[in-house]
Amino acid sequence: MKKALAIDVGGTKIYNAIIDEKGEIISEVEKHSTPKTFEEIKATFKLIIKKYESEVDVIAFSTCGAVNNQNTGIVGSTGNIAKEYPTLDFQSLSTKPVFVENDANCAAWAEYKIGASKDTTVSVMITLGTGVGGGIIINGHLLKGQNGAAGEMHFKMRSDKHRKCTCGSYDCFEIYTSGTGLKLTAEEMTGNKDITTYDVVEGAQKSDSKMLEILDRWHDDLANGIIGLANLFDPDCVVLSGSMAEFVDTKKVEDEVNSQIVTTPTRIVKAQAGNFSGMIGAALLALEVRHG
């Protein structure tokens, strides 16, 4: 069976594992802190690759940042990682084929191949973490756009420049529905600058009415955004992943969405491919593209 060395690159952690063409992790998962400098990041990649490349058919990167349509490198800039990182020539790291895809796209692909959106025609994955990522699959293809940057969950929830988004613009879906967004909503609704997402979630579990109200508002924001996505894509399902997904009442959001869309009913489901879905998706894509 064909195998990939999968490497997941985030702003704080780098993971690696060997994954087979069924999407099974067949080695230990190794974890490294993401180094500060570009040279150290490259050195970390080279160390990982040198150790495992002889055992695999392809190297598969799941990375922060938008990735070009050739799956060879990064388009534009990335957030919280060494600023030269987007210039990396990934193929130079190995004599084996090197494949690169955006982490949210990889995670969406894992859900499509072995997880919550298996056998769908159109699926939209939304990763709710500190930020919000997106991966959209249409008729068996990732939506990449003209240059590979598609699937960004930065569409506006209001038009009055109320809340500045991490992207530099205002009032994007991300800055309302991410963990950061929930905290900002909680700050606005309580006047308490020190409130955390944990306070909200724990308070809501204890039936604190204010915390329930804040969590309801967050659900409304999620539903309002998904209504737009459902009307644009008419998806079979919307998959929610990421650390914040566990706090979503999917039934409530699904009912709200389906009561307001003009397209056909959709399902709101939680991700099933696990914490390493980025690496799994990267491996499955790489093995399909490079050896399909």
The alpha carbon dihedral of 44, 45, 46, 51 has a sign of positive
What are the helix (H) ranges across the chain?
A: 38-52, 103-114, 174-177, 179-190, 197-205, 209-233, 250-260, 277-291
Least CB distance from residue 232 to a copy of itself, whole Å? 6
Q: Residues near 17 by Cβ (< 8 Å), separated by ≥ 6? A: 5, 6, 25, 27, 28, 29, 30, 276, 279
Binding mask 46-85 for a copy of itself (x = CB under 8 A): --------------------x--------xx---------
Does position 269 bind a copy of itself by CB under 8 A?
A: no
101: contact with a copy of itself by CB under 8 A: no
Q: Are 35 and 18 in contact (CB under 8 A)?
A: no
Instruction: Considering only the stretches 18-26, 110-118, 196-204, 228-236, report the one whose residues sit in contact with a copy of itself under the rule CB under 8 A.
Output: 228-236
User: Smallest distance, Å, CB 261 to a copy of itself?
Assistant: 7
In the list 186, 236, 247, 283, the residue contacting a copy of itself (rule: CB under 8 A) is 236
Which candidate, 152, 171, 149, 169, places its Cα nearest to that of 160? 171
Residue from 12, 70, 146, 207 in contact with a copy of itself (CB under 8 A): 146
What minimum distance in Å lies between the beta carbon of 144 and a copy of itself? 7
251 binds a copy of itself (CB under 8 A): no
Contacts of 153 (CB under 8 A, 6+ apart): 126, 132, 133, 134, 172, 173, 174, 177, 225
Question: With binding defined as CB under 8 A, does residue 182 bind a copy of itself?
Answer: no
Say how far apart CA 114 and CA 198 lie, in whole Å. 31
Candidates 126, 227, 282, 283; binder of a copy of itself (CB under 8 A) is 227
Q: CA 223, CA 66: separation in Å to the nearest integer?
A: 26
Residues of this chain that bind a copy of itself (CB under 8 A): 66, 75-76, 120-122, 134, 136, 138-139, 141, 143-160, 167-169, 172, 220-221, 224-225, 227-229, 231-236, 260-264, 266
